[in-house]
Amino acid sequence: MKTKGAKSILLGSVVLILVGALLLVGQFVELGAWVWVAILGVGGLCALGLFLTDRSDELMLVTAYVLLAVAGLIAVITSGLLHDEAIALYVLFAIALPFLWVYLRNRAQWWWLIPAYALIAVGGVVLLAELAGASDNLITAYVMFAIAIPFYFVFLRNRRQWWFLIPAGIMSIIGLAFLISENAFAIIGAVVLIGLGVWALLRGFTRREPSGDA
């Protein structure tokens, strides 16, 4: 633990000194954005190197990721590779990636998928709305399907949670209705709701109660 603490203090001190020195120099000499990209990139690579020497020190990995992600953001903006909505996508996906990485390392911690999925889903809305020039109906359908997917995911993980299929099915049908036409929304939505209600009612009356005998 002492070694980890020492590495964190060392890296943090070096970064602070470099940033402070650059801010001081910037008062007399104009520094370009690429200087900051270089400093942040070097700091991120140093943190990554410290992590590779001790894989249990995940704080170094987080530090490396943040520094490199910020350096990358400044780089793509300065170079003109990304503009407006594309920058928003970069930020959303950059924030979502660590949550997704934690889940992939330990599938039991599935709750990390919640913020990752939310950020990626919002990024999809931005992509459809601005980059793809999608219509309002297509965006609404996307949102409905995006809401339905987590319910399907929970059901697939545990088939006993069958009732998750009810909101998933409702959202899916609503999304499908928007894909077909606005006029179909009310009719299809109403039919699906009635059908699901009848199915749940019949299941409730026909389901056998577990025997209380020992």
Average pLDDT over residues 66-70: 86
Inter-axis angle of helices 165-180 and 136-157, nearest 10: 160
Domain assignment of residue 136, yes or no:
no
- What pLDDT is stored for residue 26 in this prediction? 67
Tokens of 123: 């990024």
Domain assignment of residue 201, yes or no:
no
Tokens of 134: 């999608």
Query: Model-level pTM?
Result: 0.58
pLDDT in tens, 127-138: 777 655 667 777
Domain assignment of residue 63, yes or no:
yes
Domain assignment of residue 115, yes or no:
no
Domain assignment of residue 148, yes or no:
no
Domain assignment of residue 145, yes or no:
no
Residue 41 pLDDT exceeds 80: yes
Q: What is the 3-state secondary structure (H, E, C) of 148-180?
A: HHHHHHHHHHCCCCHHHHHHHHHHHHHHHHHHH
Nearest one of 175, 177, 170, 171 to 199, comparing CA atoms: 170
Find tokens 């599935």 and name the residue.
110
Domain coverage including residue 58? 1-81
- What pLDDT is stored for residue 204 in this prediction? 64
d(CA 143, CA 174): 10
pLDDT in tens, 97-123: 888 888 888 877 777 788 888 888 888
- CB distance 135 to 178 below 8 Å: no
Domain count, the chain: 1
